[in-house]
């Protein structure tokens, strides 16, 4: 995206224009390209110098056997015969994908059952429906157990869902949807977000002291100078080689950078969830991996969850997001980069989520942004200078990074008033945003450009009372 530059007086608090060339390594300068949805990894993705051990939830299970079930076994009384669903957990609505929807794994389904079924019950379910279990996990958020099943015999997903929905032991079934991170083409830019969000004044009040922000994304370079010491813990539901990736590293940098760059909440702590695995330069995640990340982040005490990805509406994930919101977790997502003609993308379209769009140096809307009345606020997201793997820096664009900026502001708000509920945080963000576009809230900019300082000031934040606090949650 080309920007028509106009004279603008922006005082760069940390990064000066004279130092810009020194920050850009040759490898980072090559980190360009991409499309409407895709993200580009750095040309070289070395392992981070410091690693954080991943911790899998206790209930996670893997099925070591994946041989197809050749034929249905005869039902075993009391085991293979379908049982009646629990009265406390009624069957959900149909999980069939919408007509024309193809953004899912073509030979997998996700099944939800009540409680924690026995191994015998699970094996009976597999026999009845000729499926192979890939993995399963019990989720505290929903009080149910989720399974990811493989369809070994070529049946299509829709026909398998119809068959499973006739089984009274199953609460819900749906495709294993695919999601993509929201990064666009790179260009030249500077760290103008510092002044646009009024961070110098905001940081006199709060810096996000030890507020836990879960980043559900691709791998983060925890050894990057901008990120050293900021990752509290990590979890890797995606598997793969675990290498850091440009998107996840840049998202973390937008929130907590603290060396040559200035993150929105530099004293916050990141819960790194690697749910997106690079595929041909892009990074893709699925329903099941994201669900596992949401559960882990909740168990770890996340106050904010950043979701800089987008895809199809997901019924199971929507219920999990609602459960997370009821536990006081602020949910923030990228509006999406599919353009003005695209329908709303999930999870930004979910009513429990704060949807964020992207603006540029001149407060103009990023031309690739999704529009819609679900858009809550805007934040800088065009031509941003952010960290990339290997200790370098690169320019990047997308609603992903605008969402990360707002996640950082949410952490500042929660430091000032740790008792605020998600709806209250949303009201603070919207009521203190600077109006852009048509007067009042609109489908392009939402309530307007987020303002970190004004948000904290509206809560009565005072620099002499807040700055320098080192306790979890801070004070007022």
- Counting residues of the chain whose pLDDT is more than 90, the rounded percentage is 67
Indicate the pLDDT class of residue 174, thresholds 50, 70 and 90.
Answer: very high
* Catalytic option among 136, 218, 400, 407: 400
Indicate the pLDDT class of residue 184, thresholds 50, 70 and 90.
Answer: low
Summary mean pLDDT of the chain: 81
Indicate the pLDDT class of residue 191, thresholds 50, 70 and 90.
Answer: confident
Query: Catalytic residue at 373?
Result: no
Indicate the pLDDT class of residue 8, thresholds 50, 70 and 90.
Answer: very low
Query: Catalytic residue at 247?
Result: yes
Which pLDDT belongs to residue 280?
55
Q: pLDDT digits over 105-148, tens only?
A: 999 999 999 999 999 999 999 999 999 999 999 999 999 999 99
Q: b or e along 344-355 (b: 16 or more beta carbons within 10 Å of the residue's beta carbon)? A: bbbbbbbebbbb
Query: How far apart, in whole angstroms, are the C-alpha atoms of residue 54 and residue 232?
Result: 11
Residue 45 has pLDDT above 50, yes or no: no
Q: pLDDT digits over 320-361, tens only?
A: 999 999 999 999 999 999 999 999 999 999 999 999 999 999
* Catalytic option among 217, 221, 360, 451: 217
What's the whole-number mean pLDDT along residues 53-73? 40
Residue 29 has pLDDT above 60, yes or no: no
Query: Catalytic residue at 217?
Result: yes
* Catalytic option among 245, 247, 258, 405: 247
Which pLDDT belongs to residue 183?
63
- C-alpha dihedral over 403, 409, 413, 415, to 10 degrees? 110
Query: CA angle, corner 40, sides to 104 and 449, nearest 5?
Result: 90
Residue 64 has pLDDT above 60, yes or no: no
Cβ–Cβ under 8 Å, residues 260 and 82: no
Q: DSSP secondary-structure letter at 108?
A: E
Indicate the pLDDT class of residue 13, thresholds 50, 70 and 90.
Answer: very low
Q: Judging by DSSP bridges, how do beta strands 144-150 and 212-217 pair with one another?
A: unpaired
Predicted structure pTM score: 0.76
Indicate the pLDDT class of residue 309, thresholds 50, 70 and 90.
Answer: very high
Residue 223 has pLDDT above 80, yes or no: yes
């Amino acid at each position: 995206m080309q920007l028509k530059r106009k004279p603008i007086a922006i005082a760069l608090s940390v990064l000066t224009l004279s130092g810009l060339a020194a920050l850009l390594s040759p490898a980072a300068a090559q980190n360009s390209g991409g499309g409407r949805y895709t993200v580009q990894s750095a040309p070289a993705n070395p392992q981070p110098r410091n690693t954080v051990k991943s911790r899998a939830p206790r209930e996670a299970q893997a099925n070591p056997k994946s041989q197809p079930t050749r034929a249905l076994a005869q039902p075993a009384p009391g085991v293979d015969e379908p049982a009646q669903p629990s009265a406390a957990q009624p069957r959900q609505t149909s999980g069939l994908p919408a007509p024309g929807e193809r953004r899912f794994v073509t030979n997998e389904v996700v099944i939800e059952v009540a409680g924690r079924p026995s191994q015998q019950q699970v094996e009976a379910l597999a026999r009845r429906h000729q499926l192979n279990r890939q993995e399963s996990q019990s989720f505290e958020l929903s009080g149910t157990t989720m399974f990811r099943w493989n369809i070994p015999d070529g049946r299509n997903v829709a026909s398998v869902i119809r068959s499973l929905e006739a089984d009274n032991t199953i609460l819900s079934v749906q495709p294993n949807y695919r999601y993509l991170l929201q990064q666009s083409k790179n260009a030249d830019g500077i760290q103008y977000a510092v002044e646009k969000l009024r961070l110098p004044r905001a940081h006199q009040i709060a810096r996000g002291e030890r507020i836990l922000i879960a980043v559900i994304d691709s791998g983060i370079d925890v050894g990057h100078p901008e990120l050293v010491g900021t990752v509290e813990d990590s979890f890797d539901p995606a598997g793969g080689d675990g290498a850091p990736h440009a998107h996840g590293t840049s998202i973390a940098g937008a929130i907590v950078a603290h060396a040559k760059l200035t993150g929105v909440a530099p004293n916050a702590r990141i819960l790194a969830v690697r749910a997106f695995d690079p595929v041909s330069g892009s990074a893709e995640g699925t329903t099941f991996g994201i669900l596992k990340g949401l559960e882990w982040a909740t168990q770890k005490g996340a106050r904010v969850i950043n979701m800089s990805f987008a895809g199809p509406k997901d019924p199971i994930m929507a219920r999990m997001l609602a459960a997370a919101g009821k536990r006081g977790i602020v949910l923030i997502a990228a509006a999406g980069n599919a353009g003005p003609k695209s329908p709303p993308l999930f999870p930004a379209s979910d009513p429990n989520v704060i949807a964020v769009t992207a603006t540029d140096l001149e407060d103009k809307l990023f031309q690739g942004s999704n529009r819609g009345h679900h858009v809550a606020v805007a934040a800088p997201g065009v031509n941003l200078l952010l960290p990339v793997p290997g200790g370098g820096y690169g320019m990047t664009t997308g609603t992903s990074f605008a969402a990360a900026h707002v996640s950082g502001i949410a952490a500042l708000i929660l430091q000032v008033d740790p008792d605020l509920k998600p709806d209250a945080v949303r009201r603070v963000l919207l009521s203190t945003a600077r109006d852009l576009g048509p007067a009042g809230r609109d489908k392009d900019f939402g309530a307007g450009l987020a303002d970190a300082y004004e948000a904290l000031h509206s809560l009565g934040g005072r620099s002499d009372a807040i700055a320098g606090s080192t306790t979890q949650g801070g004070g007022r």
